[in-house]
Each structure stands twice: as structure tokens, then as C-alpha cells.
Amino acid sequence: MSYNVPEVPTDGLKQEVPMDDSKIDEVDHAMDEIDPAVENRVLWKIDRVIMPLAILVYFCQYLDKRGLAFAAIFGLKKDLHLKGQDYSWASSIFYFGTLASQLISIKVLHMFSIKVYVGVTVVLWGGVMMAQAAPQKAADLLAVRFLLGLMEGSAYPAFVLMISFWYRKAEHPSRFALLAGADIFAQGLGGLFLYGLSSIKGHIHGWRIAMLIAGAMSICIGLVFAYLIPADMAGAWFLTAEEKQIAHDRVAREHASAHEKHFQWDQFWETMKDPKFYLVFSWAFLLCACTVLNFGTLILNGLGYSSFITTVLQLPACAMQATCLILTTLACKRFPNQRGYIQAVCALVPLVGSILLQTLPYENKWPLAGSLWLTTCNYHILSVNLSIISSNIKGHTRKTLFSTVYYLGYATGCIVGPQLFRDKESPLYKTAMRAISSMYGVFIVFMLLFMVLCKMENNRRDKLAAEGNEDAVPRPAANYDNKTDQQDLSFRYVL
């Protein structure tokens, strides 16, 4: 048996040579020689550079998306003469742009490094965000919102690849949780920031000023990201030569995928035949069709709360979301091979909230506000979704396809979701809440089905290994490779 190691993005790092079975023990021994203290030091250095920059991009992205919700209660609907479903379409059309960006990213992520792709598009979306201050009518707003979604959609699949490149599987849930935390932070404190800007009185309406400043922030962060993020481990300016090798080996041993500049059609067809591919799409669609965030301010405002109180009432929702995120991350660490089952339990939180919003009478305003807070709690589910894709899918083209289809589902769900909120049913939108409750139930079933498929495949490989198939024996990998998770029988799925 031999291992053919393809070209990987680690120029200047030690390359492994093809091995036969007699060398397996030597490789395992060499990999075990990494000093845990040294590995922790390397991980800390990676965290100090990679995660803050990723978090800043996520923060600006969510702040830009949330700008519409706060502008809505500070005069945007009146200034642009929005009527009927105009606001719902302004929310939905953003995700038509995101949908288009996912199709583009399948090719572009094979052509350019993540630092170039994300850095350039963050600068571009900052410019579009500033242009969002200019619309004078509904059609203008729809055009700019589409362009904003087209630019912002790039970050999603790119960060799935980036986390899987720099981090071991057990580290994925906590890193995706940090990115989700940036969204929560933007929702809470970012909301207060937008409130302050939107409250400005002058010749230019406050919500327009908020768009200009938020866009300028995005441009600055995009430039910093493109300058500081290394294109590969060999270019990691914050690591020594020895630390670069350790950073490479610690991830490579877990059957990590090599970057591949050419689209692999065999991986494409293999992925199209995989039922897990379509389940991943359904997760994102169902979760994002269930989101209430763009209507949260309208629900609270419709319950009779002032614009300021509506803004302040976002903070308890953020606290609940952060609590769920922390508990879910700790649960994934405590039960590292139970991520899917943990998510199924987590989905019960927003499910209960959506049921309460259907059943509580309008007069019970504080219980209704609390129910809304529960319904917003799905960030912890999304973050573990991404960790499952990052940890379980192997092969650069295949992983790109899975990441992209997840965000195709994300965008499709975000297009459909706002259309469930009928303007005539404001402020409680009971039809939307009934649909949301049903979709969370379906999500739980699909998540459990994915776990069952992975468990069945793990059991099949264990049986092959027990029958003497050496290829199916679980072992650390020798290096990055471009085999898929279906081709690499020594690979085991994280449940």
C-alpha cells in the first residue's frame, strides 16, 4: 500500500515521501513526538492572528446586514416610501445576491487564496454599504441590497475552508462559536452603535450616516485582513520555521485536505451522489428561513415600545444567544463525538419561543418579548453546523461544494423566510411563527438522519478493518492529501 502525496500549500515545509506499510509505525511515532506545550504555544500564536481578523470581518458583515433593521425604525420606510411587502423584499433580495456569490465562489476559491478573495470582497462590500445611504425610493434600495449580498456572501464558504486549514477537528466548534459570537456582539452593542448614529438630527438623516460609517469600517478591516492573513502556513509571519512545521503537521495528521487549484470533476460527481450533501443544504435552509432578526425590531416596536427601548431590548436576546453558544461549545467539548445530537437538543430553544409567540395574547407584552428572545437563539446551531462540515468533509473540491451548498441553503432560506412575515399580520406574524415551528421540527429530523448515515459508514469501515482491510484501519495521516472522505477508508466521521 502506498500514499501519493499531492502538492499542498506549504512551500518550504518538510514534505513526506510515499510510504509502505513497514513505515506506518515510524510515522505514527514521529507524529506523537510533538510536545503538547509547544503545540499549545503554536495554537495560541495562530489564534492571536487568525481569529481576531476573522471575527472583525464577521462583526462588520453582521453590522452591515443589521443596518436595515435599525434603519427601518429610524425613518427608512418613510423616507423611501416603502409599502406592503417592500421591506420584506429589501430583506430577501440581499440573499439573492448571496445566492449568486456562492455559485461564483465554487470557482474563485480554487483560483485565489482566501486572503485575496475575502480581503477584496470586504473592501467592495464596504463601498456598497456606503452606497446604501443614497437610495431615494424602494427600487434603489433593492438594487443596492442585492449588490451588498453579492459581496458579503464570499466570506461564508471561505471561512469554512480557512478554519479547517488552520485548526484540528476538536478545535472547530469553539472557533466557529467565536465567529458566531461576533455576530451576537454586532447585534447587541453594534445595535446601540447604529441606534446612536441613526438618532442624529441634521440635513442628512441619521440612518444614512450610519450606513456611511459602517461601510467605511468594513473597508478598513478588509484592507487589514488582506495585509495580515497569510496565504498559507509557509507565509505565516507570526511563526518560526519550526512552528510552521508543527502547525502543518498537527492538522495534516487528521486527514486534512490539500488546497487544489484545479476543480476535481470526480469529486463533483461523487458529491452529487451523496445524500449528506442535500441534508446539509436543508439544514441551512430550514435554520435561515426560521430567522426573525430582521423583524425583531418591528415586533418589539409593534408591541408599543419606543425606538430606544426596542434597541435596548435587543440586549437580553444577545445574552440568551451568547449563553446558548457557550453551553453548546462546552457540550461539544465534553461530548466531542455527539455534535449532531447536541444540535437537535439546541433546536428546542427557538422552537419553544416560536410556539409561545403563536399562543400568548398580545396583552402579555413582556412574555412575548421573552419569547422573541428565545426564537432568536439559533447562532449556536449554525456554528456547530459549520464545524460538522469542516470536520467531516475531505477533498478540496468536495469541501468547497459542501461549504457552498450550505450557504446556498442559507441564502435560499433567508430569501423565503421574510416572505412568511405578512405586513397585515404585524406585529406578531402568527403565520410566520407556525411555519417556523414546523421547520425546526423538520431540522431536528434531518440532523439526526445525517448522524445516522455517518454512524453507519463508520461502522462499515470498522467492520472492514476488523476483517483485515489495512486501508480501513483508523490512523493519523502522513500529510495533507486530496482524497475525499469517501475515498479515504481510514477516515472516521465526527458524529
Does 234 map to a domain? no
Does 32 map to a domain? no
Q: What is the CA radius of gyration of the chain?
A: 23
pLDDT at 388: 87
Residue 2 pLDDT level (bands cut at 50, 70, 90): very low
Residue 356 pLDDT level (bands cut at 50, 70, 90): very high
Tens of pLDDT, residue by residue over 477-493, are: 656 667 888 888 888 89
pLDDT at 10: 42
* Residue 292 grid coordinates: 426573525
* Residues 411, 95 contacting (CB under 8 angstroms): yes
Q: Which residue has the higher pLDDT, 345 or 256?
A: 345
pLDDT at 117: 85
pLDDT at 112: 80
Tens of pLDDT, residue by residue over 429-475, are: 888 899 999 999 999 999 999 999 999 999 999 999 999 898 888 87
> How many of the other CB atoms lie within 10 Å of CB of 168?
15
Measured between alpha carbons, how far is 57 from 124 in angstroms, rounded to an integer?
A: 13
Residue 28 pLDDT level (bands cut at 50, 70, 90): very low
The amino acid occupying position 45 is K
279, with CB counted inside 10 A (0-12, 13-18, 19+), is middle
The amino acid occupying position 422 is R
Alpha helix stretches (DSSP H) within 360-491: 365-375, 379-392, 396-419, 430-466
Region 256-282 average pLDDT:
83
For residue 319, what are the contacts with CB-CB under 8 A and spacing of at least 6?
A: 188
Does 8 map to a domain? no
Does 348 map to a domain? yes
Q: Which residue has the higher pLDDT, 149 or 47?
A: 47
Measured between alpha carbons, how far is 92 from 416 in angstroms, rounded to an integer?
A: 7
* Residue 395 grid coordinates: 477533498
Does 487 map to a domain? no
Measured between alpha carbons, how far is 353 from 12 in angstroms, rounded to an integer?
A: 53
Q: Is the dihedral of CA 400, 403, 405, 408 positive or negative?
A: negative
Does 390 map to a domain? yes
Residue 29 pLDDT level (bands cut at 50, 70, 90): very low
Region 306-319 average pLDDT:
80
Measured between alpha carbons, how far is 204 from 215 in angstroms, rounded to an integer?
A: 16
Measured between alpha carbons, how far is 189 from 186 in angstroms, rounded to an integer?
A: 6
Measured between alpha carbons, how far is 1 from 256 in angstroms, rounded to an integer?
A: 20
Tens of pLDDT, residue by residue over 203-232, are: 788 788 888 888 999 999 999 999 999 988
Buried b or exposed e, range 327-346, using 16+ CB within 10 angstroms: ebbebbeeeeebbbebbbeb
Q: Using alpha carbons, select from 221, 225, 228, 229 the residue that is nearest to residue 127.
A: 221
Region 369-381 average pLDDT:
88
Residue 100 has pLDDT above 60, yes or no: yes
* Residues 296, 65 contacting (CB under 8 angstroms): no
Q: Using alpha carbons, select from 447, 415, 451, 449 the residue that is nearest to residue 348.
A: 447
| Partners of 481 in beta bridges | 257
Backbone torsions φ then ψ of 257, nearest 5 degrees: -85, 140
Residue 16 has pLDDT above 60, yes or no: no
* Residue 486 grid coordinates: 469517501
Question: Domain range for residue 171?
Answer: 52-229+266-472
* Residues 110, 397 contacting (CB under 8 angstroms): yes
SS3 472: helix
SS3 content of the chain, % helix, strand, coil (to 5): 75, 0, 25
Report for 26-30, 34-38, 461-465: range of highest mean pLDDT: 461-465
Region 25-43 average pLDDT:
68
Residue 381 has pLDDT above 70, yes or no: yes
pLDDT at 447: 92
pLDDT at 257: 55
pLDDT mean across residues, the chain: 82
Rounded to a whole number of angstroms, the distance between the first and last alpha carbons of the chain is 29
Does 128 map to a domain? yes
Q: Using alpha carbons, select from 388, 381, 380 the residue that is nearest to residue 493.
A: 388
Residue 259 pLDDT level (bands cut at 50, 70, 90): low
The count of structural domains within the chain is 1
| Of the listed ranges 68-77, 283-292, 430-439, 486-495, the one predicted with least confidence | 68-77
pLDDT at 18: 38
The amino acid occupying position 393 is I
Percentage of the chain exceeding pLDDT 90: 25
| Partners of 257 in beta bridges | 481
For residue 443, what are the contacts with CB-CB under 8 A and spacing of at least 6?
A: 282, 283, 286, 287, 290, 347
Residue 76 pLDDT level (bands cut at 50, 70, 90): confident
What is the domain-level CATH number for residue 208? 1.20.1250.20
Tens of pLDDT, residue by residue over 107-125, are: 777 788 888 888 888 899 8
Does 83 map to a domain? yes
* Residues 237, 454 contacting (CB under 8 angstroms): no
Tens of pLDDT, residue by residue over 148-179, are: 888 887 777 788 888 888 998 889 889 988 98
The amino acid occupying position 262 is H
Q: Which residue has the higher pLDDT, 181 or 46?
A: 46
pLDDT at 255: 60
Angle (nearest 5°) at CA 116 between 113 and 122: 130
